[in-house]
Amino acid sequence: MRPLRNALFISILLLASCSPKRPVSQFTVVSHPDGPLFVGDQVSFEVLVPATLSGDNNTSVEVTFAGQILGSAPFAPYGIGGRSQATLWWVWDTRDLNPGSYTLTFTRLPDHTTWTETFEIHAADHVPPLEPQAHWVSTESVCCNLFYISGTAAARDIATLSKEADQESTAVSAQMNTSLSQRIDIVFMSRVVGQGGFTLNSVYVSYLDDNYIGNDMPILFHHEFVHYYDSTLGGDYRPSMLEEGLAVYLTGGHFKPELLGPRAAALLDLGWYIPLTTITNDFYNQQHDIAYLEAASLIKYLVETYGWSSFNQFYRSIHAPSNQSVSAVMDTALQEHFGKSFAETENAYLSYLHSQSVTADIRTDLQLTVDFFDTVRRYQEKLDPSAYFLTAWLPDGSVMRQRGIVADFLRRPEGWENRLFEQLLILSQKELFTGEYKNTERTLQWTNWLMDIIVQK
């Protein structure tokens, strides 16, 4: 491992001086699919609103090309992070163009602020090797409809993936004492997006050979299937903290099997514990791994204290906030079902954590897990923003299949910085998950130091 690490560090240092600064403009336009555009692409745009206009929800963006309106979209919150942007899905069809530079005009309405953006369209015969023959394929298992792109790792391993999905769906069905009336749609993405899994109308999972998250597919399936089954059981209002905590709790860990109680107790030793009201009111903007761990261990405490049936009744009966905070409606539900306020519940939960036995290995593993995934998200935010979980580029798979689009789930930034940092993340992930803690710490320190140099350029 050490020669590979040293070679990667030296390569980055030699190339760091070549990294150009990106221009800054009032509006930022991001095109998709990522990377170079080619003749034949169906291009989408994200128009990011300047911070000075972020509160203006009565504006939209219109894009025109060669005198023709391609499309328009309002500025609106996007993604888990609620970033203000106009999202124009697949509005520019380049199939009839020749290779070259093309200028598009963007207009902010209603004040008609106008600017132009130039895009280079490359020849179709230069498209990445997998794409010319790539197309959507589907198969059925007992639990699921599985959609994947031909020629990918998912296509190669689809038989194994189908069996794993069936096994995890059966396990979740038993845990939640419910069944589905129809199959789950699973969409396999051949690039890393977020932490590797999302559940919307379908379940979206990353599956590729050079996956720097290193997803354990049974664990990933189980987590996302909990979300899917959970949504079918309903409830007036399910706070994000409890939704995500339930998925981690029933999976028995977040990215790997974990002792949730002792692991959450280690947060107290590390000084990382976040008050439950803070996590409840603003879940996704907290440190990701800490918030998920606290949420899962809280549910573990509630189930162990009151039983699954009582917890489930509490969870399904929380009412949507009306001029209240999320923690306020949680407080009401806790008092109605368990006779304790939120503050009293947290005090009891903290006593539960103090009773846990925390080993040095648990504490070290948790600390490095948080460091690793913080580094992953830092890399994504700075060098692969389409993958960053708060604003992930996650197109509707059913529309992609209807339109024959594969590039959005195949292409990703592939500059030297991306290739080298992803190899460093793959290395540190393997070291962490095999318990090589000293090597993990060293690799992450070097990775972040090098990122300091490159990201600032």
Asked, for residue 85, whether it belongs to a domain, the answer is: yes
pLDDT reading at 24 higher than 70: no
Provide the CATH number for the domain around residue 64.
2.60.40.10
Asked, for residue 49, whether it belongs to a domain, the answer is: yes
Q: What pLDDT sits at residue 457?
A: 53
Tens digits of residue pLDDT in 97-147:
999 999 999 999 998 989 999 999 999 999 988 899 999 999 999 999 999
Helix (H) or strand (E) holding 185: strand 184-189
CB 144 within 8 A of CB 187: no
Can you give the pTM of this predicted structure? 0.91
Distance from C-alpha of 178 to C-alpha of 316, rounded to nearest angstrom: 14
Which tokens is 212 given? 């720097």
* Domain ranges, residue 107: 28-126
Helix (H) or strand (E) holding 15: helix 2-15
Helix (H) or strand (E) holding 104: strand 100-109
Distances, alpha carbon 120 to alpha carbons 21, 37, 103, 116, 232, in Å? 19, 7, 9, 13, 45
In the sheet that holds 197-199, the strands lie side by side as 136-140, 144-149, 184-189, 203-206, 197-199
Q: What pLDDT sits at residue 26?
A: 79
CB 227 within 8 A of CB 205: no
Asked, for residue 149, whether it belongs to a domain, the answer is: no
3-class DSSP assignment, residue 241: helix
pLDDT reading at 16 higher than 70: no
Asked, for residue 56, whether it belongs to a domain, the answer is: yes
Produce one character per residue of 118-152: b if its CB has 16 or more CB atoms within 10 Å, e if not.
Answer: ebebeebeebeeebeebebbeeebebbebbbbebb
Q: What pLDDT sits at residue 18?
A: 43
* Count of the separate structural domains present in the chain: 1
Distance from C-alpha of 172 to C-alpha of 250, rounded to nearest angstrom: 8
Which tokens is 65 given? 């090309």
Asked, for residue 239, whether it belongs to a domain, the answer is: no
Which tokens is 425 given? 């993340």
Distance from C-alpha of 99 to C-alpha of 456, rounded to nearest angstrom: 33
pLDDT reading at 3 higher than 70: no
Tens digits of residue pLDDT in 322-338:
999 999 999 999 999 99
Asked, for residue 116, whether it belongs to a domain, the answer is: yes
Q: Which residue has the tokens 């560090």?
A: 9
Pairing of strands 28-32, 60-65: unpaired
Backbone torsions φ then ψ of 128, nearest 5 degrees: -50, 145
Asked, for residue 276, whether it belongs to a domain, the answer is: no
Q: What is the mean pLDDT of the chain?
A: 92
Distance from C-alpha of 345 to C-alpha of 79, rounded to nearest angstrom: 31
Helix (H) or strand (E) holding 11: helix 2-15
CB within 8 Å of 195: residues ≥ 6 apart: 213, 255, 288, 373, 376, 389
Tens digits of residue pLDDT in 209-259:
999 998 899 999 999 999 999 999 988 899 999 999 999 999 999 999 999
Asked, for residue 280, whether it belongs to a domain, the answer is: no
